[in-house]
Amino acid sequence: MNNTMTIGGHRAVIQYDPDIGMFRGEFLGLNGGADFYADSVERLVREGEISLRVFQEMCAEKGIDPVKHYSGKFQVRVPEEIHARAVTAAAAKGVSLNQFVQDAIIEAAL
């Protein structure tokens, strides 16, 4: 993923905001919002470190786990035709639909 960076062991999505001429970073997988802005990559890393530290300190003060935990389960809705094609493709590979979708997500997410 070319629009992400890891700061302090946490992933953040980075987008450029042309209206303000700055990059905006937003940490993912946290139990709350932690975003940061900067006009260069170097400053973005520095601002991200500050934002993450402040967020973690606030969580510690409130007794909140800063990291969001996922169950590993979610529901996906797709058009009927795509569902049917996915079942066929999974059967052709000799795997379950769940395994087929999991493999596709792993491939897309790396």
Place of tokens 């786990």: 65
In Å, the largest CA–CA distance within the chain is: 53
pTM over 0.85: no
Q: Where are the domains of the chain?
A: 4-62, 80-109
The residue among 32, 41, 57, 31 whose CA lies nearest residue 4 is: 41
**pLDDT of 41-63, one tens digit each?**
999 999 999 999 999 999 999 99
C-alpha 42/C-alpha 13 separation (Å) is 15
Give 79 or 1, the one with higher predicted confidence.
Answer: 79
Answer whether 8's CB lies under 8 Å from 52's CB. Answer: yes
The residue among 70, 88, 72 whose CA lies nearest residue 80 is: 88
